[in-house]
Structure 1
C-alpha cells in the first residue's frame, strides 16, 4: 500500500531526522528514500540539491500529482497543518516562555547558529580525524579549540532559553526539541560532549531519548555509528 508522503534524505542528515521525528511523532505514514546532499536523487527533488524534501502524493486523502515541498521549516509547517495533534507548539508560559513564538525563535537559533557550531565547528572535524586515523587527538583538540569554545557559549544561550526541566519548554516536546536533538545526538558521539554538555542539557537529551520517535529514527545516524 502506498503512503501519502515520501521523505527524501539520508537518516544521517540532522535536518532530515528532524522531519522524520515530526512525522513519526504525529503518526503520519511515510516512506523514506535515502539520498545524500547533491546526489542525483537530491538534485532531482531540490533545485540546489539539498535535503530534506517531502514528496506529497495525497492532499486531504485524494491522490494528486506529486508536490515537492523543500526546506525543513516549510515541511514542519505543512506537518502541523495536516496533523495539528499531537501538537509540537507551545503556549505562552510553557517553560517560562513569554510568547508562543519563542519556540520558533529557538528553532531559528538552532537551524542557523547551532548547525554550524555543532557540525562544522566540532563534530565533523573530530569524526573525520577518527575515520582517517590522523591528526592526533592533541592536534584535533588544538585545531577545534576555538570551535569548542564557540559551541560552549552557544549551548549556554540555548540552555538559558529552555525551561528548568523536562523538554525544552517543559512537559511535552516541541519543534525546538526536534531541531536540537539530532545535532546534540551527534555531538554526544565525540569526546567534546563531555566538555560542553551541562547537567540541564544531559537531562534534556535523556528525556528525548525516551521518545519512540527518537528511537525509531536512530538507525543510520552518527549516534548509531553510521557514516554518510
Structure 2
C-alpha cells in the first residue's frame, strides 16, 4: 500500500480528523508538519489556494477539505468502513459533519479556542472575554444539539464509529481544554462520556498534540 502524506499543523483538529482515519484504517502515512502560519506560504498555497489545512497527498493526487479527504479515505481504504450502510444513518453522519464544520467550528471553536488556547500560547495575546461571551449562545446551542443527536448511543450515528465522530470529536475535544467546556456540558454528560470514550481509542491517543509534537521532533 502506498504512503499517504498529510500536510497539516500538529494540533489542528481538522488535520487530526484525517490522521485518526488513517490510524483506524491501519494505513501507512506521514505527517508533513507545518508550523503555525506556514499554511500561508507560497509552497503550501500551491497545495491549497485558501491557505488552510489539511491537505492529503496520495500517489500524485492532491486533495484538500477535511470532509472530502475523509470520504476519499473511506473509499480507497474500505476496511473498516466508517460510513453506515443504512441510508438514514449515513444521512445523519453527513448532518453531524456539517454541524461540526458550520456551527461547532465556525463561531464557537474558532473563537473560544483561539482566545483561550492558541492566542495566548502561540501569539502571546490575552483572551478577549467579550468575544468569548458573544460566542457562548451559539456554543450552548450546538453542544445541546450534538448531545441530543448522540443520545445514549456510544457513537454519533449508532453502535459503530463513523466519519461523524472523526469530524466532530477533535473539535469538541479541543474545546474541552477551555474553562467554558464545563459550563457548556453541565447538562450534557453523554457528550463528556463520548469524548472520553473516543480519546481512549488508540487512534485518538496516537494523534494527540503531545504525540504529534514528539514525532515531529524525532523526525
Q: TM-score, normalised by structure 2?
A: 0.84
Q: Which has the higher helix share?
A: 2
Superposed CA offset, 1:120-167 (max 9, x none): 2311112256444746xxx72x44222122101111112222241312
Structure 2 gaps of 5+ residues are 215-219
1:15 corresponding residue in structure 2: 14
> Residues 103 and 22 from structure 1, CA distance in 2 versus in 1: closer, same or farther, beyond 3 angstroms?
same
Tell me which residue corresponds to 1:219: 209
Q: Go from structure 1 to structure 2 and tell me whether the alpha carbon gap of 1:214 and 1:99 turns closer, same or farther (over 3 Å shift).
A: closer
Secondary structure in structure 1 of the residue aligned to 2:209: coil
- Asked if 1:75 corresponds to 2:74, the answer is no
- Following superposition, the deviation at residue 114 of structure 1 comes to 1.3
Structure 1: gaps of 5 or more residues: 58-65
Over 3 Å counting, the alpha-carbon distance change for 1:167 and 1:8 in structure 2 is same
Q: Residue 86 of structure 1 is aligned with which of 80, 86, 89?
A: 80
Question: Does 1:164 find its partner at 2:152?
Answer: yes
Q: Which has the larger radius of gyration?
A: 1
Question: What are the Cα deviations for residues 43-98 of structure 1, in whole angstroms up to 9, with x where unaligned?
Answer: 131122221111112xxxxxxxx221121122112111111111111243xxxx94
Number of matched pairs: 206
Q: What is the deviation of 1:183?
A: 0.7
Q: Residue 187 of structure 1: CA displacement?
A: 0.8
Looking at structure 2, the residues matched to 169 and 209 of structure 1 have their Cα atoms a distance apart, in angstroms, of 18
Counterpart of 1:63 in structure 2 is none
3-state SS, counterpart of residue 54 of structure 1: strand
1:207 corresponds in structure 2 to 197
The correspondence for 1:45, drawn from 19, 40, 47, is 47
For residues 37 and 112 of structure 1, what CA distance do their matches in structure 2 show? 21
Q: Compute the RMSD of aligned alpha carbons.
A: 2.5
Change (3 A) 1:211 1:220: same
- The counterpart of 1:195, out of the listed 174, 183, 188, is 183
Superposed displacement of residue 175, structure 1: 0.6
**1:186 alignment partner, one of 150, 174, 194:** 174
Paired residues for 1:69-148 under 5 Å: 69-92=63-86, 98-127=88-117, 130-131=120-121, 132=124, 134=126, 140=129, 142-148=130-136
Alpha carbons of structure 1 residues 41 and 212: separation in structure 2 relative to 1, 3 Å: farther
CA distance in 2, matches of 1:115, 1:41: 26
